[in-house]
Structure 1
Amino acid sequence: MSDEQSSSSASGRPTRQSRTGLTSTGARKAGSKSNRSRAREFALQGLYQHIVGRNEILEIDRFTRDLAGFHKADVVHYDALLRGCAESEAALDALIAPKLDRGLAEISPVEHACMWIGVYEFQNCLDVPWRVVLNECIELAKEFGGTDGHKYVNAVLNGLAPELRATEVTHDRSAQNKSAN
């Protein structure tokens, strides 16, 4: 489900989107990505440079804006993610670290950046439903990370969602439980 539109069935549960726009491996085709999904991808690439190379955000931003396809990204969302995550990395790490089964230095830079994006969006992008944040970060980890890195990102962000989006998560889960009964 894209964050620009969210559909629901008559029961109030989100309907599953068709799998058109996916490659045979399940990855999204380039043409089917929303502007915000593209923004997340470019922010992920920039945050990776920041984590691995400790490159300056201004330098990363200049480089990223020249990449092919950047014009299709939601620039405002990209700016918020790149700068917001970099400026609050210590606070983001403080939330992430207790959910890890190893030290922060031991997780992949891609997974680390995906978690930053997820936590940042949970806290600061309240117009994006928590499930969309979770799904988008999982997709980023699938596309750019290691084989099972998306499972780790999922576990950490799923653990943080009830803390960072308590009302929304509780509402969604109680509605889901009611419809299951």
Structure 2
Amino acid sequence: MNPSKRRKARELAIQAIYAWQISKNIVISEITKYVVHHNKKCSLDIEYFNQVVSGVIKNVHYLDNIIKLHISQTNIRINPVEQSILRLSAHEIIQRIDIPYKVIINEGIELAKIFGSSKSHKFVNGVLDKIIYEKNKIKTIQQYKK
């Protein structure tokens, strides 16, 4: 695993997820083909790119529910860029136990700095911290009950 290839895969995944969110009717395979084709000179982990994009799309409602649980204000409307980043990061937290939480948070923050507003990284950091805290709390309770 090459960290820079994985970082590039995440950057392109955010772009694909964002395009899918905004388009609301384009098939994700068309978007991923377009994104990969227009970035064919980039060195990326294409397998990881495909895994995370398809994982987010397949589980988008589940991921959104988890994200909503960890946002302080219930009536807040999440910026589409931040939403893409949170969906990707939440997917990694839940599905990719091979990736340390610190890496997931750091990558989410960096993506927010690249694609988001000047305060996006703080918002993303706060939400991801809460998701990880809750996941660890549940895991601890389950281990205690054994």
Distance 2:67 2:41 in 1: 29
Q: Which runs of 4+ in 1 moved over 6 A?
A: none
CA RMSD of aligned residues (A): 2.2
| C-alpha distance 161-149 of structure 1, shift in aligned 2 (>3 A) | same
Number of equivalences = 138
Asked if residue 80 in structure 1 is aligned to residue 43 in structure 2, the reply is no
Specify the code of the residue in structure 1 equivalent to 2:23. Answer: G
- Structure 1, gaps ≥5 residues long: 5-32, 170-181
Q: Which has more radius of gyration?
A: 1
Distance 1:125 1:136 in 2: 14
Alignment of 1:15-164 (within 5 A): 34-54=4-24, 55-69=26-40, 71-100=42-71, 101-103=73-75, 106-164=77-135
SS in 1 for 2:38: coil
Shift of 1:123: 1.0
1:86-138, Cα deviation, whole Å (9 max, x unpaired):
1100000010002122446x111110011011110011111110000000011
Pick the structure with more helix per residue: 2
Identity of aligned residues (%): 29
- Structure 2, gaps ≥5 residues long: 141-146
| C-alpha distance 47-144 of structure 1, shift in aligned 2 (>3 A) | same
The TM-score with structure 1 as length reference comes to 0.70
